[in-house]
Amino acid sequence: MRLLVMYDTYYGNTELVAQAIAKAIEERGHQVECRRQSDSGEEDFMGVPVWVLGSPTRWGRPTFRFRTLILNAVKEAGVDHDFVVFDTRFAKVHAGASDRLHRALTRKGLRALMPPQHFTVEGRRLAAGEEERAREVGRAIASLLRP
Ligand SMILES: Cc1cc2nc3c(=O)[nH]c(=O)nc-3n(C[C@H](O)[C@H](O)[C@H](O)COP(=O)(O)O)c2cc1C
């Protein structure tokens, strides 16, 4: 199965999570492309059945540029896609970026493979154990895919 892991990042934490998820899915025999928002466009979503989408939380939302890319991708590539959204965020601040994106994509008719996934950042670094948890999420996603 082909998957796209698309992420935005400022300090590299969401990138670490995205790469850990991508690697775990790839290790289960799937074809995964892992791309950063700033190097990507709507065309990267075309023809890829499963999207894994991750953004840092900024003021309770995904970054504007990430949300714009995803909504444009839906316009271009259509709603016939499975997806998983994840975010990175501080432990004590509520409203993860992925909850809003999850709702927006579900409302448009895309199919969620699992609930939004959250990963905790402490200061400027991913909290202990979160990279391993990202690999677990990758394995869980892989287990939901057709071979
Ligand atoms: C301007 C700004 C706003 C933020 N707003 C939130 C927020 O509303 N909720 C939260 O949990 N974390 C918030 N954070 C923490 C970020 O989510 C955290 O820095 C991010 O996960 C780091 O990801 P990155 O390393 O991929 O850039 C904010 C950080 C900044 C710099």
What pLDDT, on a 0 to 100 scale, did the predictor assign at position 146? 75
DSSP letter for each residue of 74-125 = HHHH-S--EEEEEEEEETTS---HHHHHHHHHHHHTPEESS--EEEEEETTE
Ligand 1 near 144 CB (within 6 A): no
Instruction: State residue 96's pLDDT score.
Output: 77
> Which residues neighbour 128 within 8 Å (Cβ) at sequence distance 6 or greater?
none
Atom of ligand 1 nearest to the CA of 7: 26
- Ligand 1 within 6 A of CB of 20: no
For the chain, domains (ranges, CATH) are 2-142 (3.40.50.360)
What spacing in Å lies between the alpha carbon of 139 and ligand 1's midpoint? 26
Q: What parts of the chain have a pLDDT lower than 70? A: 94, 147
pLDDT of residue 97: 85
User: How far, in Å, is the centroid of ligand 1 from the Cα of 93?
Assistant: 9
- pLDDT of 52 reads 98
Tens-digit pLDDT profile for residues 51-93: 999 999 999 999 999 999 999 999 999 999 999 999 999 988 7
pTM of the shown model: 0.97
**Residue 11 in contact with ligand 1 by CB distance below 6 A:** yes
Give the pLDDT confidence score for residue 98 in this predicted structure. 92
pLDDT on residue 147: 66
44 three-state secondary structure: helix
Taking the centre of ligand 1 as the mean of its atom positions, its distance from the CA of residue 14, in whole angstroms, is 10
Q: Is 9 in the pocket of ligand 1 (CB under 6 A)?
A: yes
